[in-house]
Amino acid sequence: MKDFKYVKKGLKRTDGEMIVTGRAKFTVDMALPEMLFGKILGSPYPHARIIGINVDKAKELEGVKAVVTGKDIGYRRFSFIDTPAYPAEQTPLAVDRVRFVGEGVAAVAAVTEDIAAKALDLIEVEYEELPAVFDPEESMKDGAPAVHDIIEPNTTTAWEDFGIPKAKSRPFKVVNNISNRTLIEYGDIEKGFEEADCIREDRFEIPSTSHVAMEPHVAVANYQPTGKLDVWLTHMGYEHKRFWLAKLLDIPMSMVRVHKTYVGGTFGGKISIFPYEILSAYLSRLTARPVKITLTRQEVFSTCPPARRMIVYMKMGVNKEGKITAYHSKVIDDVGAYRRSSPTAMYLAHSFRNPIYDIANVRHEGYGVYTNKLYATAKRGHSLQQMSFAVESQIDMICEELGLDKVDMRLKNFRKKGDVLPNGDTLNSYALPECLKQAVEKIGWKEKYGKEKSRGFGIGTASMFSGAHNYPFASGAMIRLNHDGRMILYTGQTEFGIGIDTVMAQVVAEVLDCPMDYVIVNCGDSEVSPHDVGNWLSAGMFVSGEAVRRAALDLREQMLNYAATGLEIDVEDLEMNDGWIVSRSDDSKKLSFSDMSRYGIQMAGGDPLIGKGYTKCVPEVYFWKGKYNKTASLSSGKGRFTQAYGLAAAAAEVEVTPETGEVKIIELVVADDCGTPINVKSVEGQIMSQAVMGIGDVLLEEVEIKDGIVMNPNLLEYRVPTANDIPKITSIIVDSYEPNGPFGAKEVGETSRAAAISAIANAICNAIGKRICALPMTNDRIMQAISDKKGGNS
Amino acid sequence: MSLLAEFEYKRPESLDELLDLLSDFEGKAAILAGGTDIIPRIKMGLKEPALVIDIKEIEGLNYVKKEGENVRIGSITTIFDIRNNALIKDRYPVLHEAACLTASENIQLRGTLGGNIIQDTRCVYYNKPKEWRASFKACFKIGGGTCNAAGGAKKCFSVYCGDLAVALISLGASVLIMGKDAEREIPLEDIFTADGKIPFSLNDGDFIKEVIIPSEKKMGGYEKLRLRKSIDYPVVNIALSIDAEERGRLAVGSVAAKPLLYGFSSFEELRQLPDRAYADASPINNMALSPLYRKSMVRVLSEKLIGRI
């Protein structure tokens, strides 16, 4: 493999100065002339009928420009998933019924935020309280209060709008509050369990955690007299945003412009569309003025969806040799009031764990269940962390029962490079065994495991897609050559902290062998960038980065061809070198990139030299018209999912104070197989930040919901680790070279968190000699487990 | 909403001016020093003062000085200054340790001694914005007739979570209170009412000018259990001070509206105290972590502290 010049280096971020000096413009910084401020009134009840809303007094308040209620907007429905099987059910404001505490019932636009807040106090809402249900397992029982009855679409679904053949919108009758089901099976689990020497059945419970992005949820909308809608959002990709804004406001999608902004963190929490975004646009159209809605931290915690709450029933069979013979997972996803991404999550709960262990007999059941609680969504690993915690905990329990070495047992069950998964995905790169070996070696597993009282060791594994099959997992990119020889790259990627400007410039500079500052990156503007999937499901580098690479190759070829003609030499004799096109045989023959721009304009009929590149994550999955329809199924897990899997293993050493249950993490090691790290520093940052997040997941974080009310909606009571709480963390990059990825790169942003969670959790249980099957492992839970005589062994 | 309500704002330059304002506004005024306790409460609509009196301009309230038998600390001395004061570090390790463990450094830099002492009691059902509280009935502390944390309860169970007062009580400190017409010195523990609804016995016109610590050097220490190594209020906090004759006090915070206080005159007696404190502590489910855990930590932490000293 040839040496890279710009890729696989720890280059500093090109926008670092912009951000640290406060010059980078975030949506929360946006101010437009004549801008109004919006506020949303939330329901105090978890489940109630809206009898009436009186907004007269609010309208009379000086400075109030508009007040809207759910009745004004009507049933304009949206969701993350909107298919004929699972039609959207959420509306921007509740129309006749509220289903969770905090659900919007009315919204105000006023000249100041203060006046908008005062206007909310003047809105009178009459409710009739309805019986509510909070426990998903109670919710599934006959006779439980119905969160939804029949969901009747009044428009086509998104699936139809995307053009999936045979899709036709139809009513969805909710039975026993079940929102969605997934059943994935292969092999013969009965036979598998018969072959097992040890079968364990355990119940794990994982609460919601919040994303805690530094920038709160915020939207600025400016509806123009021309019918155009300009928006500035804090988001992870504009395709979803503009699709839904266009659909819900009945304007052509091309008339919605999502402007480039810096985004202060997302972690999965800003995917798809939210009521406050639709309302800012709706209010802007109503008032003919720009409208900004900034949620307070409390509103973010109480009304924006946190990570999914899951109950996982795990049943695994393992034989004496340590081989897993059968695997049965039953997941209850407490979706809250609206299902949002649950159908995706329930299939990811299987497919993210699928590349890790080679298990012949599998049954995975997933149920999304409605409750009268805040709805939930994806968070960094979308189901992976919940499943990794459950599966890796149970594997430790089984190893202890059978007296197996926890490292060897896992190594014995790992898949191998080249394996074809039951759905057809191929593991073209696979360094999970190396990840685990390096992580346990670094932590000193062999020398230290079981040696010291109150010290515990744990390991965990995880894997994740590098983008997926379903709409809109494709990306295009354009590179425009300028007269000065520099280039502007147009990509639909969003900069939300991940360093897109830097890594995409590295890709272009590598292909064109030119200095980094030759590449100016224009990212995340829906009006100038080609179609792009957005930065989710870890598609950023693998899908969009590949599109950028291909655009650079396209431009390179164009430039070389013109150079060959201009220099009157064979194109094969030319190469690019540090911003020049040079003859290999005679280095006095050379042209600058600027020369090439002038050549295109003057000698080639005005050719502006634009490179174009595009790619689709899984080309084998498509839908168009008639017979051209080959989609994968979320509910049965059939069909191709992705082209490459990122993998990670973590090892942790902890010490638990037996008197107080306090946990001290001595060291955490995370080894991540991300293929080629395009930017080594960025990749280390991704791994570290996930390790830190995992520490919060295990020790501190939970969105506590009591009777439907978020009990800790602020940063004092919802505790994220502080700098003082961070132990020694070592990140190890294991480069497996993914042949399908740009320069061998694949996913890096989401696996490590789940690996870290399961490693720390296992280490704590190992230290106390008892098993805790719920997160977070707070001091009181640990003390409870220590004192509980009936608790399982560990 | 997390917007600051409207109020009048004044910055008196003398104590007399302050005392006049306090008396004129008859309980409708709030004192602002560091603001770390009062500002969030005003934002949440828990306090609705007509006047906020900023006392940072008043001369002569920021000091740590040895005077005769006593060490006196002015009420607007910051927690950070207390933490870094050599006299305090040398004589009263319990206070030094408590200051080090209070909130985070940036809050220590703003927060003051007086403000830290008279911070209001807390409860997960109470310290929340108005619109969050709309889902509940008005509780005792808000002026209603229920306790949302303990259904059927007849009183407010909010908890005093201060760090410095617990340490100071163990030292036998007293406070000098200025009123419009008189000043009085009373033991610090006596300003607590033990009623979560109105936790302090100060009158509307009263102002804590300084804290007075008996000047003798005292052995001691402070144990604070918190969930994170910064920012957090204590789950349980324990302060211990002992003089050369084995006499001293153990104080326990964050289990009730008033710190628990135990005197002892020998190590023998001191060793009995963790059990007594454990028996006396009866936290309810209104703070982070389970009440059972918090109760058991009273003994664990007391024993740990005694073992350490």
Q: What is the maximal distance between C-alpha atoms in chain B?
A: 56
Q: How far is CA A390 from the centre of its chain?
A: 20
State the Cα–Cα distance between residues B99 and B144, nearest whole angstrom.
Answer: 35
Nearest residue, CB atoms, A721 vs list B228, B290, B293? B228
Which candidate in A124, A719, A781, A788 is best for mutational testing of the B interface (most B CBs within 10 A)?
Answer: A719
Residue in chain B closest to A102 (alpha carbons) equals B132
> Each residue of B79-131: pLDDT tens digit?
999 999 999 999 999 999 999 999 999 999 999 999 999 999 999 999 999 99
Please indicate if any CB of chain B lies within 8 Å of the CB of A658: no
Burial class (CB in 10 A: 0-12, 13-18, 19+), A628: exposed
Burial class (CB in 10 A: 0-12, 13-18, 19+), A31: exposed
Report chain A residues whose CB lies below 8 A from the CB of B300: 659-660
**Cross-strand partners of A366:** A182, A331
End-to-end CA distance of chain A: 46
Alpha carbon separation from B259 to B88, B187, B300 (Å, rounded): 22, 13, 17
SS3 state at B22: helix
Cα of A475 to nearest chain B Cα, Å? 41
State the Cα–Cα distance between residues A242 and A257, nearest whole angstrom.
Answer: 7
The values of phi and psi at residue A483, to 5°, are: -60, -30
Burial class (CB in 10 A: 0-12, 13-18, 19+), A254: exposed
* pLDDT at residue B56 greater than cutoff 50: yes
Residues in chain A: 794
Please indicate if any CB of chain B lies within 8 Å of the CB of A721: yes
Contact B1 A39 (CB under 8 A): yes
Counting one residue from A and one from B, how many pairs have CB atoms under 8 Å apart?
76
Model pLDDT, residue B89:
97
Cα pseudo-dihedral A385, A388, A391, A394, rounded to 10:
-90
SS3 state at A364: strand
* Count of Cβ atoms closer than 10 Å to residue B74 Cβ: 21
Quick check: A434 and A631 in contact, CB under 8 A?
no
Cα pseudo-dihedral A454, A455, A461, A462, rounded to 10:
70
Return the DSSP state at A590: E
Which candidate in B101, B123, B128 is best for mutational testing of the A interface (most A CBs within 10 A)?
Answer: B128
Sign of the dihedral defined by the CA atoms of residues B23, B26, B28, B32, in that order: positive
Model pLDDT, residue A630:
84
Quick check: B273 and B250 in contact, CB under 8 A?
yes
Report chain B residues whose CB lies below 8 A from the CB of A302: 132
Contact B230 A719 (CB under 8 A): no
In sequence order, what are the residues at sequence separation of 6 or more whose Cβ sits closer than 8 angstroms to the Cβ of residue B149? B123, B124, B125, B157, B284, B285, B286
Question: Which two structure tokens, joined as six digits, stand for A390?
Answer: 């459950």
Confidence of residue A168 (pLDDT cuts 50, 70, 90): confident
Pairing of strands A291-294, A36-42: parallel
> Each residue of B194-234: pLDDT tens digit?
999 999 999 989 999 999 999 889 999 999 999 999 999 99
Sign of the dihedral defined by the CA atoms of residues A38, A44, A48, A52, in that order: negative
> Each residue of A421-459: pLDDT tens digit?
999 999 999 999 999 999 999 999 999 999 999 999 999
Considering chain A, what percentage of its residues have pLDDT values greater than 70?
99
Contact B231 A298 (CB under 8 A): no
DSSP A432-486: HHHHHHHHHHHHTHHHHTTTSTTEEEEEEEEEEESS-SSTT-EEEEEEEE-TTS-
> Each residue of A16-68: pLDDT tens digit?
999 999 999 999 999 999 999 999 999 999 999 999 999 999 999 999 999 99
Report chain A residues whose CB lies below 8 A from the CB of B227: 700, 719, 778-779
Confidence of residue A357 (pLDDT cuts 50, 70, 90): very high
Cα of B1 to nearest chain A Cα, Å? 7
Confidence of residue A417 (pLDDT cuts 50, 70, 90): very high
H or E segment at A335? strand A324-336
> Each residue of A92-129: pLDDT tens digit?
999 999 999 999 999 999 999 999 999 999 999 999 99
Confidence of residue A534 (pLDDT cuts 50, 70, 90): confident
Contact A724 B134 (CB under 8 A): no
* pLDDT at residue A288 greater than cutoff 80: yes
Question: Which two structure tokens, joined as six digits, stand for A5?
Answer: 């010049």
* pLDDT at residue A616 greater than cutoff 90: yes
Please indicate if any CB of chain B lies within 8 Å of the CB of A706: no
Return the DSSP state at B39: H
Residue in chain A closest to B103 (alpha carbons) equals A716
**How many contiguous H segments (helices) and E segments (strands) does chain B have?**
11, 12
Residue in chain A closest to B122 (alpha carbons) equals A717
Model pLDDT, residue A198:
97
* pLDDT at residue A1 greater than cutoff 70: no
* pLDDT at residue B167 greater than cutoff 90: yes
Question: Which two structure tokens, joined as six digits, stand for A550?
Answer: 């291909």
Which candidate in A717, A718, A781 is best for mutational testing of the B interface (most B CBs within 10 A)?
Answer: A717
State the Cα–Cα distance between residues A705 and A205, nearest whole angstrom.
Answer: 14
State the Cα–Cα distance between residues A534 and A528, nearest whole angstrom.
Answer: 15
> Each residue of A324-352: pLDDT tens digit?
999 999 999 999 999 999 999 999 999 99
Contact B228 A39 (CB under 8 A): no
- Rg, Å, chain A Cα set: 27
Write down the H helix ranges in B71-138. 79-84, 86-91, 93-100, 105-110, 113-117, 130-133
Mean pLDDT in residue range A706-725 = 97
Model pLDDT, residue A421:
97
User: Which of A646, A237, A153 has its CA nearest to residue A472?
Assistant: A237
Mean pLDDT in residue range B277-292 = 97
**How many contiguous H segments (helices) and E segments (strands) does chain A have?**
21, 32
Contact A660 B225 (CB under 8 A): yes
* pLDDT at residue B4 greater than cutoff 80: no
Contact B2 A296 (CB under 8 A): yes
* pLDDT at residue A794 greater than cutoff 70: no
The values of phi and psi at residue A398, to 5°, are: -70, -40
> Each residue of A759-773: pLDDT tens digit?
999 999 999 999 999
* Count of Cβ atoms closer than 10 Å to residue A154 Cβ: 10
Burial class (CB in 10 A: 0-12, 13-18, 19+), B280: middle
* pLDDT at residue B1 greater than cutoff 50: no
Cα of B226 to nearest chain A Cα, Å? 10
Nearest residue, CB atoms, A101 vs list B135, B231, B300? B135
Contact B1 A661 (CB under 8 A): no
Query: Which residues of B lie closer than 8 Å to A, measured between beta carbons?
Result: 1-3, 104, 124, 128-129, 131-132, 134-135, 225, 227-233, 235, 288-290, 292-293, 296-297, 300-301, 304
> Any idea which residue has 């004004």 for tokens?
A72
Kindly list the strands in the beta sheet with B51-54, ordered across the sheet, starting from the edge strand earlier in the chain: B8-10, B51-54, B29-32
Report chain A residues whose CB lies below 8 A from the CB of B292: 780
**Cross-strand partners of A258:** A231
> Each residue of A119-152: pLDDT tens digit?
999 999 999 999 999 999 999 999 999 999 999 9
What angle (nearest 5°) sits at the alpha carbon of residue A586, between those of residues A583 and A587?
70
Write down the H helix ranges in A85-167. 113-121, 136-139, 158-162
Residue in chain A closest to B1 (alpha carbons) equals A117
Q: What letters, b where the CB count within 10 A reaches 16 and e where it falls short, cover A4-28?
A: ebbbbbebebbbeeeeeeeebebbb
Mean pLDDT in residue range A181-207 = 98
Question: Which two structure tokens, joined as six digits, stand for A219?
Answer: 């939207």
Quick check: B171 and B259 in contact, CB under 8 A?
no
**ipTM reported for the complex, 2 dp:** 0.96
Q: Does pTM surpass 0.80?
A: yes
Pairing of strands A150-151, A172-173: antiparallel
